[in-house]
Amino acid sequence: MSSFTNRTALLNGIAASSGIAMAKAYRLVEPDLSFEKKMIEDIEKEIQRFQSAIRNAKKELEQIRDGAKNELGDDKAAIFEAHLLILSDPDLLDQIGDNIKTTKINAESALHSIAGRFITLFEQMDNEYMKERAADIRDVRKRVLSHLLGVKNVNPSMIMEEVIIVAEDLTPSDTAQLNRTFVKGFTTDIGGRTSHSAIVARSMEIPAVVGTKTATEEISNGDFVIVDGLKGEVFINPSQEIVTQYKKNQADFETQKEAWIKLVNEKTVTTDGHYVELAANIGTPKDLDRAIRNGSEAIGLYRTEFLYMDKEQLPSEEEQYQAYKEVLEGKNGKTVVVRTLDIGGDKELPYLNLPKEMNPFLGFRAIRLCLEEQGMYRTQLRALLRASTAGNLKIMFPMIATLDEFRQAKAVLEEEKKKLVSEGISVSDSIEVGIMVEIPSTAILADQFAKEVDFFSIGTNDLIQYTMAADRMNERVSYLYQPYNPAILRLIKMVIDAAHRERKWVGMCGEMAGDETAIPLLLGLGLDELSMSATSILKARSQILRLSKKEMEGLVEKALQMSTTSDVMAAVAEVTNK
Ligand code: PEP
Ligand code: MG
């Protein structure tokens, strides 16, 4: 950190999501709402404690509702009205009271389990509107719990003005729930460019700087903050001069985006006539619209785990079927690569109650978990297979480390396919089945895998963290996230060459695919498809339209013989700035 004058400072972090945002800081410190399940002696006292928490939560909500009405109008205030109605619902309140009386458990536990039943009930309803009510009950439960525990409830839904969120960390689902109307940007102490909260921020077009190490220490509520998601800088209470400069940078960025938008329907072809497919990475069907508006030709990675996160229980087969069908239909016959559940690492499913692990990124996760918990895996496969007739589906398995894993995963898929066909349900007969190449053993053995898979997609976010032994979530080792390191380039080359020898296509869906410095190298290496955050597509297209494949092949030949990342970066700069 370098200081200017009093309380004016500049923090350096990792540019996680492009764009520039400026607003007042809003510190989001997650309250600790943990509690123990306890048996109580005095039932009457416990019921009174519960009723008093309900009264206080109501008062708080009335204040928020009135504030929302004044600031934002009746429309936005309606959500708090709905929360107040939940707090007056005799069914819910009586059941919680009865539960305290009959089981003699503390109010926190009764609230958690009875409200949990209501949440599950609503989530299972067919009607979308009713399903969304589950989220409202979850919010209300949190609010009442905070009053029972006497903990201040900081809730992003209370934000009624434009802000920059300042947090130690944000989970991917926290990020997905940020309200775009008010949250202009965010900055966090920890995290890296490939942590999933950064990935979600990019898909929502929220400028973000992560891994600043000290943002929560340095920034107070109400400080004026500029987040520069292009350079990875955060200004705290900057001078008027800097504000003026950054307003100009912001306007320039918008102008640049308008120029790129003209390329939305263009094919991505190099100056010497080589075509590359540009695809989008999505996390939910809601991302589809942005993917289409940004000129994606295909969906190169649908991260299905977001369907499973922020829920109380596993999504049903029907719920998944609807989501997959929506994406396949939305893409209108174009390729949609759906990745089977890749839970683990920074993507947790609390309701699975898996034991805590020392090294979650190296643990019992993704395909390892699916092959063990086959019920969950088979439900997902059935939903996918049923949806397969709605478009051009390709299925991809994550975290494959051995050929045995791939064979097992595929065998289960074949079994489910047979079952469905015997039940008279139609399934597409042209579904390609491929794998993510994100574990070094698989990259090294790509020649063997290539004989059995239909395609590869290189997951550099993990491939780099495993090759360099550097946790992608840890900002202290983020200097080891080195996509242009010759070691990484050689691994990528092995995978591409192996695939092409077997006439299989190979793409990349890690963040490297949308990286301006990496793109010339990936073109030279011969990737067939690049799949990236939707907001990177048009920029990548405008860059590729100016490059020659032949020249990039020459660049790669030299880069593969270099010894450091900085040598490679210099070589890329030399060729592309000519
Ligand atoms: C990757 O590892 O590169 C990848 C695309 O998957 P995820 O970021 O979801 O781990
Ligand atoms: Mg991965």
Please tell me whether residues 126 and 202 are part of one structural domain. no
DSSP 315: P
Which of 80, 114, 149 is the last residue in one of the domains?
149
CA distance 436 to 161: 42
Q: Which of 304, 399, 462, 530 to mutate to test the pocket of ligand 1 (most atoms within 8 A of CB)?
A: 462
Q: pTM here? A: 0.79
Q: Is 278 part of any domain?
A: yes
Backbone angles phi, psi at 437, to 5 degrees: -105, 100
- Residue with the smallest CA separation from ligand 1 atom 1 is 459
Provide DSSP, 337-400. EEEP---BTTB--GGG-PPP-S-GGGSS-HHHHHHHSHHHHHHHHHHHHHHGGGSEEEEEESS-
> From the CA of 203, which ligand is nearest?
1
| 461 Cβ below 6 A of ligand 1 | yes
CA–CA distances in Å: residue 317 to residues 135, 350, 386: 20, 20, 10
Q: Is 37 part of any domain?
A: no
Tokens of 563: 């010894």
| 459 Cβ below 6 A of ligand 1 | yes
Please tell me whether residues 290 and 353 are part of one structural domain. yes
**Three-class secondary structure of residue 416 per DSSP:** helix
Please tell me whether residues 287 and 345 are part of one structural domain. yes
> Which candidate, 246, 240, 233, places its Cα nearest to that of 1?
233
Atom of ligand 1 nearest to the CA of 511: 3
Let me know: does 232 contact 15? Beta carbons within 8 Å: yes
Please tell me whether residues 426 and 451 are part of one structural domain. yes
Residue 36, Cβ density class (10 Å: 0-12 exposed, 13-18 middle, ≥19 buried): exposed
Q: Is 36 part of any domain?
A: no
CA distance 182 to 26: 11
CA distance 400 to 408: 11
The CATH number of residue 231's host domain is: 3.50.30.10
Buried b (16+ CB within 10 A) or exposed e, 539-553: bbbbebeebbbebbe
Atom of ligand 1 nearest to the CA of 196: 8
| 533 Cβ below 6 A of ligand 1 | no
**Which H or E run includes 186?**
strand 183-188
CA distance 284 to 305: 9
DSSP 105: B
Alpha carbon of 323 to ligand 2 centroid (Å): 21
Q: Is 431 part of any domain?
A: yes
Which of 115, 149, 183 is the last residue in one of the domains?
149
Please tell me whether residues 246 and 270 are part of one structural domain. no
Residues linked to residue 336 through DSSP beta bridges, in sequence order: 299, 393
Please tell me whether residues 205 and 104 are part of one structural domain. no
Please tell me whether residues 142 and 163 are part of one structural domain. no
The CATH number of residue 272's host domain is: 3.20.20.60
What total of structural domains would you count in the chain? 3
Q: Is 441 part of any domain?
A: yes
Q: Is 4 part of any domain?
A: no
- Between β-strands 529-533 and 392-397, what pairing exists: parallel, antiparallel or unpaired? unpaired
Alpha carbon of 509 to ligand 2 centroid (Å): 9
Please tell me whether residues 138 and 200 are part of one structural domain. no
| 510 Cβ below 6 A of ligand 1 | yes
| Per-residue confidence in pLDDT tens, the chain, 578 aa | 444 444 789 999 999 999 999 999 999 877 788 999 999 999 999 999 999 999 999 998 888 788 767 765 676 677 778 889 999 999 999 999 999 999 999 999 999 999 999 998 888 887 767 777 787 898 899 889 999 999 877 766 667 789 999 999 887 767 776 788 899 999 999 888 888 788 888 888 899 999 999 999 999 999 999 999 999 999 999 999 999 999 999 999 999 999 999 999 999 999 999 999 999 999 999 899 999 999 999 999 999 998 998 677 899 999 999 999 999 999 999 999 999 999 988 888 888 888 889 899 999 999 999 999 999 999 999 999 999 999 999 999 999 999 999 999 999 999 999 999 999 999 999 999 999 999 999 999 999 999 999 999 999 999 999 999 999 988 899 999 999 999 999 999 999 999 999 999 999 999 999 999 999 999 999 999 999 999 999 999 999 999 999 999 999 999 999 999 999 999 999 999 87
Please tell me whether residues 305 and 360 are part of one structural domain. yes
- Residue with the smallest CA separation from ligand 1 atom 6 is 459
| 462 Cβ below 6 A of ligand 1 | yes
The CATH number of residue 58's host domain is: 1.10.274.10
Domain span at 68: 43-149
> From the CA of 532, which ligand is nearest?
1
- Residue with the smallest CA separation from ligand 1 atom 9 is 303
| 212 Cβ below 6 A of ligand 1 | no
Atom of ligand 1 nearest to the CA of 461: 3
Angle of helix 128-149 relative to helix 74-87, nearest 10 degrees, comes to 70
Please tell me whether residues 306 and 337 are part of one structural domain. yes
CA–CA distances in Å: residue 326 to residues 313, 331, 356: 22, 9, 35
| Total number of residues shown for the chain | 578
Which of 99, 116, 149 is the last residue in one of the domains?
149
Please tell me whether residues 134 and 195 are part of one structural domain. no
> Which candidate, 426, 558, 65, places its Cα nearest to that of 571?
558
Q: Is 70 part of any domain?
A: yes
Q: Which amino acids are annotated catalytic?
A: 196, 509
Tokens of 284: 């939910």
Please tell me whether residues 175 and 310 are part of one structural domain. no
CA distance 271 to 352: 51
Atom of ligand 1 nearest to the CA of 398: 6
Alpha carbon of 505 to ligand 2 centroid (Å): 19
